[in-house]
Structure 1
Amino acid sequence: MFDLTIGGQQVATTARFAVRNPATGAIVGEAPNASAADLDRAVRAARDAQPGWAARPDGERAAACGAVAAILTEHAEELARLLTQEQGKPLNGLGSRWELGGAAAWAGHTASLSLPPEIIQDDEAGRVQGIRKPIGVIGSITPWNFPVMIAIWHIMPAIRAGNAVVLKPSPLTPLATLRMVELANAALPAGVLNVVTGDDRDFNIGAAMSEHAGIDKIVFTGSTATGRHVMRSAAGNLKRLTLELGGNDAGIVLPDADPAAIAEGLFWGAFINNGQTCAALKRLYVHDDIHDAVCEALVAFAGRIPVGDGMDEASILGPVQNRMQFDKLAALVSDAASRGQVLLGGRPGPGLFFPPTIIAGLKNGDALVDQEQFGPALPVIRYRDLEAAIAAANDNPNGLGGSVWSTNIEAARSVAQRLECGSAWINKHGAVQPNVPFGGVKQSGFGVQFAEAGLRENTTLQVIFG
């Protein structure tokens, strides 16, 4: 049985909705369908708890956050199995167990962070210091691709900084998050961390949170289109925002790269979490001199990856998480197949399974290149002129990540600095770390997460003279 967590208590709802396993279609469990009154109750609980939480000594808040990290580690297998059943990702490889390990690592690192007062001036003219204060109540809206880890990315810096949180997970993957919040409450004062879920049919909780006068900031990870709605809704009380939105990351392979050496990195850059990752490699530009060799090495590696039910320990990739995303992906691949050469995969099914798909012979202007596919399909674009490749990579409204692949690190860095994206990697793609800020530019959002910079996003600055 899964319930809301509000004010440190498990709260049942009259209405519930089914959550299904995308690999089998079977019902995994039923989630509570919260009402507007439930959301109001959660916001009140957070507002009541936040001043006392903020007033606690910094060391106490750090210790409580560390205790949450320990709880994640202790219950990792339980949460991973639940996550696999609702999200579809395999237990093994870069799947649910890996996600839970990452969530615990991020929680632990965030617990170690602090923002001491900054002495801006201290001389005969006077003393000026800047102090960081919590914002208040933070609303967290999380997606279905990494439900637990992204929730931790939102929650931990918020509570570490002295805020209280109302969390709303995706209706497609609410169960592991509900259980995680229930467990985490054992380490936190009542009301500091609350969770509300709903199917968004009769009452859209996310929209209501964005408009809610009792919520001071929204942290949202999801599509650019939804991010625009969040911005409009949040304008009523000038909420602060951190938005991590869509990505259409480009990778550029320089002519001196070793195709065999980079094939594995290219594959995981593109196909981690079955391609259902904001900062996955979604467009690959390969120099004409090594284009065919890179395609051959990539196809050979991808063809060996087992795809199946995530609960099967042998599976490395699982299904697409939901029908809407599957249908979008299938349409993009069908269009691409009519324009280029399908080197691997391309035929969807059965069910929501979609094989790793690699399509060459495409160009900017083709839908699979221009649009974010968010699934296991990679377009490969041949180029001859590096300047043209950089321009093509930047010719997109998104700017989350990018990568350059080369044996010449200095040349790769030079190209990477010209990519219009928040993070650029050399000879890898999508690797994020809890001690390194992460965020997008252009229409991939604004604000950063992780490290001290991400912690500061959960605070306001007060300057004290004297």
Structure 2
Amino acid sequence: MTTTTDTDRTPDVLAYDELLAAITDPAGREILDPATGEVVGRAPERTAEDLDRAVGRARVAQPGWAAVPDAERCALLLRAADAVEASAGALAELLSREQGKPVQQGPNALFEVGGAVAWLRATASLPLEPETLFDDETGTATLTYDPIGVVGAIGPWNWPVMITVWQIAPALRMGNTVVVKPSEHTPLSVLGLVHVLGRVLPEDVLTVVPGGREVGEALSKHPGVDKLMFTGSTATGQAIMRAAADGLTRLTLELGGNDAGIVLPDADPEAIAEGLFWGAFINTGQTCAALKRLYVHEDRYDAVCEALTAVVARMPMGRGLEEHNVLGPLQNRAQYEIVAELVEQARAGGGRVLVGGDPDESAPGHFYPATLVADLDDDNPLVTQEQFGPALPIVKYSDVDEAVAMANRLDVGLGASVWSADPEKAREVAARLQAGTVWINKHGAVDPRMPFGGIKRSGFGVEFGVEGLKALGVPKVIAS
């Protein structure tokens, strides 16, 4: 396999219309803008047979890719990052039209594309040297990591560009080839991303196969796939585990979360209000590691409710292409209905709606207003079920032990957060929370240098950092 590492060449800049024309199929399935219902483009619909051919090509390409020195693979990832950055405007517009998130304001479509660039560069820059386990009078042992082979990546619709990069960048860095199956809701964004990356990477090293459930099931049980990476619901993750069992296919599963946040009695409500807002409502609440249930000490409860309501009330929601908006629609109608039903159950259960909760059903698009519901019991469905949308329940507590117990009682554990003016006290509480990551005075702030993953029914395995690279390799010990 020949590769090009001419990092001085300026990447091509693709315009939106040029990118869309390159990935759409006139006979494909219509993809609608969740804000307007307008047609964004037509996505090709592949079959299980197409998937089988893609996996076959990936298997043929993999030994040659693995033989490319690590430094050259890293250089290609850096070039790939440059290519994505050069066409960020087109990718962000496509993402906004298809997924719904704003282009400009807040953690937006440009933010997501920029995150993909950052993760490509960070993944290429992570050190992974052979590790000497021991070297003494008894002998020597070293630990290295070989490629796994072909990696199947199944992505979600909420952060389709960035999460796809989270899956493929470390897989490629470690010498694997990758076959991507995007969500049926957001195939165009992933097709656009892979088209841009494909202008840099060797042929068949990275392939995307859009399609429905048939394609996802075929990828999950394909004997030519050596590892599966999946981000999505717990139920789908369980189905993937069952499908992968016969082949003992390795898995990394980042599944549903229902992240708890605890506000301690010393917290400053005004100082934390905007952080709480973004922790909960980033991407209109459609984030696995978003803040989804908030426990507030009775001494700060009213003040936090008031400060957070003020922040929510001033955040505009609307079509992502309109520059002033910071929140967009829910990506699909099914998710809209879940959020609406949970808010109604909260209201019926005695919850006090502080803001929101009154969608305009006559308006186009899947817009559900940012909603805060106070005075809820901890067993209300809005608290116990992952809403995955712009509705945050607020629960009052009187004792920190009580708050920790409520935060830990559910069967998920992706992320959590503690909010306090006392860092030491916050760390003490954080150590007691059952989650893969616990943030202090922020929520959901992932970083390519630190491992990320869940516990309990939020999945297993980690992504990011050196540990994430190792998860895309097979450990090999050489002892003498």
| TM norm structure 1 | 0.96
Cα deviation for residue 13 of structure 1 reads: 7.3
- 1:238 correspondence with 2:252: no
Q: Quote the Cα distance in structure 2 between the aligned partners of 1:357 and 1:11.
A: 37
Q: Could you tell me which residue of structure 2 aligns to residue 288 of structure 1?
A: 298
Q: Quote the Cα distance in structure 2 between the aligned partners of 1:253 and 1:64.
A: 45
Cα deviation for residue 14 of structure 1 reads: 9.2
Paired residue secondary structure (1:250): strand
Q: Quote the Cα distance in structure 2 between the aligned partners of 1:453 and 1:128.
A: 20
Q: Quote the Cα distance in structure 1 between the aligned partners of 2:164 and 2:347.
A: 36
Q: Could you tell me which residue of structure 2 aligns to residue 144 of structure 1?
A: 157
Q: Could you tell me which residue of structure 2 aligns to residue 314 of structure 1?
A: 324
- 1:380 correspondence with 2:390: no
Q: Quote the Cα distance in structure 2 between the aligned partners of 1:130 and 1:83.
A: 41
Cα deviation for residue 183 of structure 1 reads: 1.3
Q: Rate the CA distance shift 1:82–1:175 in 2: closer, same or farther, 3 A.
A: same
Q: Quote the Cα distance in structure 2 between the aligned partners of 1:75 and 1:401.
A: 32
Q: Could you tell me which residue of structure 2 aligns to residue 7 of structure 1?
A: none
Q: Quote the Cα distance in structure 2 between the aligned partners of 1:11 and 1:47.
A: 24
Paired residue secondary structure (1:306): coil
Paired residue secondary structure (1:194): strand
2:315 alignment partner, one of 288, 305, 316? 305
Q: Quote the Cα distance in structure 2 between the aligned partners of 1:284 and 1:338.
A: 19
Q: Quote the Cα distance in structure 1 between the aligned partners of 2:116 and 2:42.
A: 24
- 1:418 correspondence with 2:432: yes
Q: Quote the Cα distance in structure 1 between the aligned partners of 2:73 and 2:127.
A: 10
Q: Could you tell me which residue of structure 1 aligns to residue 8 of structure 2?
A: none
* Structure-to-structure mapping, 1:381-396, within 5 angstroms: 381-396=395-410
Contact 1:2–1:178 under 8 Å retained in 2: no
Q: Could you tell me which residue of structure 1 aligns to residue 265 of structure 2?
A: 255
Cα deviation for residue 72 of structure 1 reads: 1.1
Q: Could you tell me which residue of structure 1 aligns to residue 126 of structure 2?
A: 113
Paired residue secondary structure (1:237): coil
Paired residue secondary structure (1:297): helix
Query: What letter matches 1:415 in structure 2?
Result: V
- 1:215 correspondence with 2:225: yes
Contact 1:15–1:34 under 8 Å retained in 2: no
Query: What letter matches 1:45 in structure 2?
Result: R
CA RMSD of aligned residues (A): 1.6
Cα deviation for residue 124 of structure 1 reads: 2.7
Cα deviation for residue 34 of structure 1 reads: 0.3
Q: Could you tell me which residue of structure 2 aligns to residue 83 of structure 1?
A: 95
Q: Quote the Cα distance in structure 2 between the aligned partners of 1:74 and 1:272.
A: 25
Query: What letter matches 1:50 in structure 2?
Result: Q
Contact 1:17–1:199 under 8 Å retained in 2: no
Q: Quote the Cα distance in structure 2 between the aligned partners of 1:189 and 1:38.
A: 20
Cα deviations by residue, 1:259-286 (Å, 9 ceiling, x for unpaired): 0000000000000000000000000000
Contact 2:416–2:443 under 8 Å retained in 1: yes
Cα deviation for residue 309 of structure 1 reads: 0.4
Contact 1:2–1:32 under 8 Å retained in 2: no
Range moving further from structure 2, 243-252 or 171-180: 171-180
Q: Quote the Cα distance in structure 2 between the aligned partners of 1:176 and 1:338.
A: 39
Q: Could you tell me which residue of structure 1 aligns to residue 470 of structure 2?
A: 456
Q: Rate the CA distance shift 1:240–1:352 in 2: closer, same or farther, 3 A.
A: same
Cα deviations by residue, 1:421-460 (Å, 9 ceiling, x for unpaired): 0000111101000101100000000000001000000000
Contact 2:24–2:43 under 8 Å retained in 1: no
Contact 2:24–2:41 under 8 Å retained in 1: no
Q: Quote the Cα distance in structure 2 between the aligned partners of 1:211 and 1:163.
A: 18
Q: Quote the Cα distance in structure 2 between the aligned partners of 1:253 and 1:31.
A: 45
1:342 alignment partner, one of 349, 353, 369? 353
Paired residue secondary structure (1:320): coil
Paired residue secondary structure (2:43): strand
Q: Could you tell me which residue of structure 2 aligns to residue 172 of structure 1?
A: 185
* Structure-to-structure mapping, 1:36-185, within 5 angstroms: 36-92=48-104, 93-185=106-198
Q: Quote the Cα distance in structure 1 between the aligned partners of 2:107 and 2:203.
A: 34
Contact 1:3–1:178 under 8 Å retained in 2: no
**Moved beyond 4 Å, runs of 4+:** 1-4, 10-15
List alignment gaps of at least 5 residues for structure 1. Answer: 5-9
Query: What letter matches 2:295 in structure 1?
Result: Y
Q: Could you tell me which residue of structure 2 aligns to residue 229 of structure 1?
A: 239
Q: Quote the Cα distance in structure 2 between the aligned partners of 1:126 and 1:300.
A: 66
Cα deviation for residue 3 of structure 1 reads: 11
Q: Could you tell me which residue of structure 1 aligns to residue 4 of structure 2?
A: none
Paired residue secondary structure (1:170): coil
Query: What letter matches 1:355 in structure 2?
Result: P
- 1:199 correspondence with 2:209: no
Cα deviation for residue 348 of structure 1 reads: 2.1
Cα deviations by residue, 1:367-389 (Å, 9 ceiling, x for unpaired): 00000000000000000011111
Q: Quote the Cα distance in structure 1 between the aligned partners of 2:26 and 2:281.
A: 40
Contact 1:2–1:179 under 8 Å retained in 2: no
Q: Quote the Cα distance in structure 2 between the aligned partners of 1:220 and 1:280.
A: 18
Cα deviations by residue, 1:382-427 (Å, 9 ceiling, x for unpaired): 0001111110010111100000111011001000010000000111
Query: What letter matches 1:380 in structure 2?
Result: I
1:361 alignment partner, one of 372, 375, 382? 375
Range moving further from structure 2, 128-137 or 109-118: 109-118
Cα deviation for residue 115 of structure 1 reads: 2.1
Cα deviations by residue, 1:288-326 (Å, 9 ceiling, x for unpaired): 011000000000011000100001011110001100000
Corresponding pairs, count: 458
Q: Quote the Cα distance in structure 2 between the aligned partners of 1:15 and 1:51.
A: 35
Q: Rate the CA distance shift 1:91–1:413 in 2: closer, same or farther, 3 A.
A: same
Q: Quote the Cα distance in structure 2 between the aligned partners of 1:428 and 1:296.
A: 19
| TM norm structure 2 | 0.93
Query: What letter matches 2:107 in structure 1?
Result: L
Q: Rate the CA distance shift 1:211–1:13 in 2: closer, same or farther, 3 A.
A: farther
Q: Quote the Cα distance in structure 2 between the aligned partners of 1:233 and 1:327.
A: 29
2:43 alignment partner, one of 28, 31, 34? 31
Contact 1:2–1:31 under 8 Å retained in 2: no
Q: Rate the CA distance shift 1:66–1:133 in 2: closer, same or farther, 3 A.
A: same
Q: Quote the Cα distance in structure 2 between the aligned partners of 1:411 and 1:127.
A: 44
Cα deviation for residue 125 of structure 1 reads: 2.2
Cα deviation for residue 123 of structure 1 reads: 2.3
Paired residue secondary structure (2:246): helix
Q: Quote the Cα distance in structure 2 between the aligned partners of 1:131 and 1:453.
A: 13
